[in-house]
Chains A and B, each alone.
Chain A
Amino acid sequence: GAGVSQTPSNKVTEKGKYVELRCDPISGHTALYWYRQSLGQGPEFLIYFQGTGAADDSGLPNDRFFAVRPEGSVSTLKIQRTERGDSAVYLCASSLNGPLNTGELFFGEGSRLTVL
């Protein structure tokens, strides 16, 4: 596709449930990032992939959060035992190269997660 695609666009779940959010980056972009954005705040870094490997996962808040990118393209962010505080917009971004060749981040439209 032309841009970064994220699904679902909206997800409402109950506290304690498991959630998966998917990101399809721009074709050919080796770097993929997950951010989380709460109302009135800037995007908060979660994890960065270079190819298939998680090069930096220092932003994941706890072990309930996990992300994979098995073939170096599509990525899935997985959240176990969701809590109300996990409610936010989860943004995925990709870039042509990694941060050492710092280029622009292309963001998807985001997945809005609401935990009831």
Chain B
Amino acid sequence: GQQVMQIPQYQHVQEGEDFTTYCNSSTTLSNIQWYKQRPGGHPVFLIQLVKSGEVKKQKRLTFQFGEAKKNSSLHITATQTTDVGTYFCATLFNTNAGKSTFGDGTTLTVKP
């Protein structure tokens, strides 16, 4: 079935280093959403991108939607221990349907 692939599955960084996670699809996406799930917690919405080539920033986080709308990235500058968690991308493959399809996430650990 349609799915989004996220890489890497795990990323371990030293505090202060940058971090990037990628979300890829073989088909054109109508939108992309990013969620963060802290250990033991539930997914929390970060942002939504809908336009080709769109770039949005939230403090140290930069989100990008590819020109072909088949991939997206989340970049964190100068990671902090509070950035620890799993980052998921999610998309609606069919705007007439209800399902948002989630990737399997990238789990980030930050060493102080």
- A-side residues, CB < 8 A to B, are 31, 33, 35, 40-45, 47-48, 50, 55-56, 58-59, 91, 98-100, 102-110
Contact = CB atoms under 8 A, between A and B. Distances in A.
Interface of B: 30-31, 33, 35, 41-45, 48, 50, 88, 90, 92, 95-105
Contact of B43 (A55, A91, A100): A91
Given A42-B88, A44-B102, A102-B31, A109 B42 contact: yes
Contacts of A105: 33, 35, 43, 45, 90, 100
Given A91-B42, A91-B43, A40 B104 contact: yes
Interface of B, secondary structure class, is loop
A91 B109 CA distance: 24
B45 A104 contact: yes
Contacts of B90: 42-43, 105
Contacts of A50: 98
